[in-house]
Structure formats: C-alpha cells, structure tokens
Amino acid sequence: MLKKINKKITTVIGARPQFIKAAVVSREIARFKNLQEIIIHTGQHYDANMSDVFFRQMQISQPAYNLSVNNLSHGAMTGRMIEKVEEILLIEKPDIVLVYGDTNTTLSAALAAVKLHIKVAHVEAGMRSYDKKMPEEINRVLTDHISSIFFCSTKQAIKNLTKEGFTSAKNEIVLTGDVMYDASIFFSPYMQMPAFDIPDKFVLSTIHREENTSDCSKLTEIISALNALHKDIPVIMPVHPRTKKILQQYGCEILFTMFEPVGYLQMIGLLKKCSLVITDSGGLQKEAYFVETPCVTIREQTEWIELIDSGANILATSNKNDIIKKAKHMLKSKINFQRKLYGDGNAAFKIASFLSNV
C-alpha cells in the first residue's frame, strides 16, 4: 500500500550556503511521514568544488531537477531561473516552496512560486544589513515581501520584520534559531583537513563579494593587507572561482597561499584550526563563531549584528591599514563564545515540524 503524502514541499537551492542549510532541514523533513520533498538545484554554483562535493559529503538527496543556470548577469540569471522554476512548479504542484537566504536562487524561486499562488517559506527571513548596494540585501528584502512563512534565525530578525509591518494574520513568523548552527553541531565530528600541509597557526581568508572584488582599488588594498599579515602569520585562502579570475585580470601579486574551494567538512576543519578568519562572507562569520574562532569582516555592515555586539566579530573597511589593525586586535582578544546567539541546535526540526502542521 502506498504511503499517503499529505503535503509536498519543493525546496529550491543553488549556492554553497544553501546546500549546507538544506542538508539538515531535508534530513528532518524526511522524518515526517506526511511530507514529501522535491529538490530543485538551479545550478547557481556550478563548479564541482562549489556544488557536487556538498551533495556527496553531506549526504543530501540528489536534486530531482538541475537547471544549470549560471555564469550570467544578475538580471539574466534571475529571469532564466524564474522561467525554469515555474515550469517545474507547474508539473509538481507543491503546497509550499521552501527557499533559503539571499541569493538570486532565493528570489527567483520565490517569485516563480508566488505568481502561481504557491506559499513561500523563507529560511533566514528578516535578516537586514540595510545596505542596498548589496545584491543579497535586495534579494532577501524582496523575498520576505512575497513570503507567507518566515523562519527566523534570531530575535533581531523578528524585530526587523515587525518594524517593517509583517505582523498581519496572513504571515506566520517563527523563531527557529539558525540551521547553520545545527549543521555545525551535526557535522563537526566528521570534519576533515585538506590534503596538503596546513601551518599550526594561520589566518583563514575568503573574499568574494561583488563590492570588494569588482573594484580594483578595494581588492588591491585587501590583498595588500593579507600579504602584509602573511609576513607575521601564514594566510591561506580557498579562492572563489570568480575571485580567482578577477585577481588574474588585475594582476595582483599574491604572497599568501591560495587553493581551490574546499567542501564543508574541510572548511569546518580549517575554521577550527585557524587563529583568525578574515572574510566578507555572511555565512562564514557565523560558522567561525560556532567553532569559537574570532573574525574580521571586510564589509561596511553585517546582518549578523549579534556577532559584533558579542565581540566575536569586528567590521573593517577595505583599507589595508584598517584590516591589519583589526586583524591584530582580534588575534589578541579574549572572547566569550559561550552565549547561545543562534538557538539550541534544533532549528531544522522546528522548521520541518511547522511545515508538517501548517
């Protein structure tokens, strides 16, 4: 006798952070007999080291659909994704479309769903940097405005939504905690190290955001700062494919160690072993906190203000001297990592449980 499926969830993912989040949420969804999940991979991150490795390492169910939409401008990518996701939604007819974070994939899937009158559930709803120059900020704000279910990582996210008027009876706002914290707890015992020599003490850096990489003067300052720090403490960087291409175009001199992107389990290993993280990533700021590593974030604002308030993270401009000053400060700081800023590690269960009962 066939199992009765009461509710169909279509999950749309396409970028590294979304694979990690979906890994823990999809595992919980599978435990509810009345839920069926269909995964769509837009292909936004198409490099094998940015995509395929995550499905293998984290035991994520292979996507039912892979759209292979990548290497396009923001507008072209978003439009193509809307078109292709809409085609699948018309076939699958899900009850809810589940989206994560703030990428082009997030907004495209939400737009395709809402135009077909399908409910949108947004994981990491309510996050705000209030920097409209960031494509991610535009994506997350617009996605919230067309969502019906808001899964919030923090109390601040709920405050942001309340301030913006999302408290009508048509909206479901749920404080879940952060699914990235769930992932960190679950996968930490399985952490790995890359298959090459890693120094005993080192700085781990990732730089990929458009506002830092598309401006030659900014990127040059950042690389100069990392080169200078490398003279005192080794700096290593798993380099994003787009960043690598831009560095080659600008002809930047690199004195520190760069290597290809690594999988999530290797990244956990690097985060745990390093002395400091220097990044412009949103997710890596939190991942550093989860493993009790201080962080310098090269951005004017961050949506994760709890990290700034706790002293675990500090913002730096793209100025060489500012980055060096902030890095040296954080290397010497004593930080209290004991505060539970992002929930109790059961965010994924809370999301799946809500979807089962909504």
**Residues identified as active-site:** 208
Residue that the structure tokens 């309340």 belong to: 162
Are 150 and 126 spatial neighbours (Cβ–Cβ below 8 Å)? Answer: yes
**Two structure tokens written together for 219:** 């990127």
Q: 203-206 and 172-175: which strand pairing? A: unpaired
**CA pair distance 280, 311, nearest whole angstrom:** 17
Comparing C-alpha atoms, which of 118, 116, 179, 101 is closest to residue 350? Answer: 179
Are 85 and 12 spatial neighbours (Cβ–Cβ below 8 Å)? Answer: yes
**Two structure tokens written together for 161:** 């939504």
Going from the C-alpha of 224 to that of each of 209, 318, 342, the distances in angstroms are 17, 10, 34
| Helix 104-115, helix 74-92: angle, nearest 10 | 40
Taking residue 162's Cβ as centre, other Cβ atoms within 10 Å add up to 12
Q: Which H or E run includes 92? A: helix 74-92
* Cα Dmax for the chain: 68
Going from the C-alpha of 144 to that of each of 77, 96, 160, 161, 313, the distances in angstroms are 20, 15, 11, 9, 26
